[in-house]
């Protein structure tokens, strides 16, 4: 087997939509990553579980889209 790690991706922007329950900083503090950090799927999934545990929201969806550069998410 040959494993190619590929290029590292970085978080360009975290955009919060549909939040009318609390302030955005309450949501952002549940993330262990911030803008400019290396993208880590494990930390993103952990943040999703934390947001669901707050019980502020009926549904929590986290999606990723391509950024302005190939190494940005």
Domains along the sequence of the chain with CATH? 1-61 (3.10.20.310)
Tens of pLDDT, residue by residue over 17-33, are 999 999 999 999 999 99
Task: Give the Cα separation of 19 and 14 in Å (integer).
Answer: 13
Q: Which of 31, 42, 39, 28 is nearest to 70 (CA)?
A: 39
Tens of pLDDT, residue by residue over 35-54, are 999 999 999 999 999 999 99
Output the pLDDT for position 48.
Answer: 97
Task: Give the Cα separation of 14 and 63 in Å (integer).
Answer: 10
């Amino acid at each position: 087997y040959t494993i190619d790690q590929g290029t590292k991706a970085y978080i360009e922007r975290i955009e919060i939509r549909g939040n009318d329950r609390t302030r955005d900083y309450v949501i952002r503090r549940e993330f262990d990553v911030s803008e400019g950090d290396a993208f880590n799927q494990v930390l993103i999934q952990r943040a999703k579980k934390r947001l669901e545990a707050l019980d502020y929201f009926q549904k929590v969806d986290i999606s990723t889209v391509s950024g302005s550069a190939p190494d940005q998410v």
